Amino acid sequence: MSITSALFGHTRRGTPVTAYQMRTSSGACAVILDYGATIQSLCVPDRDGNPVDVVLGYDTLEEYEANDGYLGATIGRFANRIAGGTFFLNGQAYQLAKNDGANHLHGGVCGFDKQVWQGKMEGDGLVFSRTSPDGEEGYPGALEIQVRFTLSEDNTLEIQYDAQADRDTPVNLTNHSYFNLAGRGTVSGHTLQICAERYAEGTADCMPTGRLLEVEGTPFDFRKEKTIGETFEYDHNFVLAGSPAAGAPSFPDVPANQYYSNAVAWAAANGVVSGYGDGRFGPNDPITREQMALILQGYARLEGKDVSARTDLSVYTDAGAVSNYALEAMRWARAVGLINGTSDTTLTPRGTATRAQAAVILRGFCENVVSD
Does pTM surpass 0.85? Answer: no
pLDDT confidence of residue 56: 97
Least confident residue range of 95-104, 217-226, 357-366 = 357-366
Which pLDDT belongs to residue 89? 80
Q: What is the pLDDT of residue 293?
A: 54
The pLDDT, as a whole number, for residue 359 is 52
Q: Which of 109-123, 126-140, 149-163, 251-265 has the lowest mean pLDDT?
A: 251-265
Query: Are the CB atoms for 46 and 52 separated by under 8 Å?
Result: yes
Three-state secondary structure readout of the chain: CEEEEEEEEECCCCCEEEEEEEECCCCCEEEEECECCEEEEEEEECCCCCEEECECCCCCHHHHHHCCCCCCCEECCECCEEHHHEEEECCEEEECCCCECCEEECCCCCCHHHCECEEEEECCEEEEEEEECCCHHHCCCCEEEEEEEEECCCCCEEEEEEEEECCCCCCECEECCCECCCCCCCCCCCEECCCEEEEEEECCCCCEEEEEEECCCCCCCCCCCEECCCCCCCCCCEEECCCCCCCCCCCCCCCHHHHHHHHHHHHHHCCCCCCCCCCCCCCCCEEEHHHHHHHHHHHHHHCCCCCCCCCCCCCCCCCHHHHHHHHHHHHHHHHCCCCCCCCCCCCCCCCEEEHHHHHHHHHHHHHHHHCC
- What pLDDT is attached to residue 246? 32
Would you place residue 318 in the very low, low, confident or very high pLDDT band (cuts 50, 70, 90)? Answer: very low
Please tell me the predicted confidence (pLDDT) of residue 63: 97
Q: In the prediction, which pLDDT does 12 show?
A: 96
Tell me what pLDDT residue 321 has.
40
- pLDDT value at residue 139: 96
- Of residues 83 and 190, the one with the higher pLDDT is 190
Q: Where are the domains of the chain?
A: 2-175, 191-240, 256-370
- Residue 180: pLDDT above 70? yes
Q: Is 70's pLDDT higher than 90?
A: yes
Range in 119-128, 188-197, 285-294 the model is least confident about = 285-294
Kindly tell me if the per-residue pLDDT of 11 is higher than 90. yes
Confidence grade of residue 307 (pLDDT, cut at 50, 70, 90): very low
Residue 333, pLDDT score? 52
Contacts of 259 (CB under 8 A, 6+ apart): 251, 252, 359, 362, 363
Whether the predicted pLDDT of 276 surpasses 80: no
The amino acid at 310: R
Residue-level pLDDT at 194:
92
pLDDT of residue 214: 87
Q: Which residue has the higher pLDDT, 331 or 13?
A: 13
- Percent of the chain surpassing pLDDT 90: 48
- Tell me the C-alpha distance between 35 and 68, whole Å: 14
- Amino acid letter for position 273: V
Residue 351 in this model has a pLDDT that exceeds 60: no
CATH class of 2-175: mainly beta
Tell me if 37 sits within 8 A of 19, measured CB to CB: no
Looking at residue 295, what is its pLDDT? 55
pLDDT of residue 340: 34
Residue 324: which pLDDT band, with cuts at 50, 70 and 90? very low
Give the residue with greater pLDDT, 268 vs 227.
227
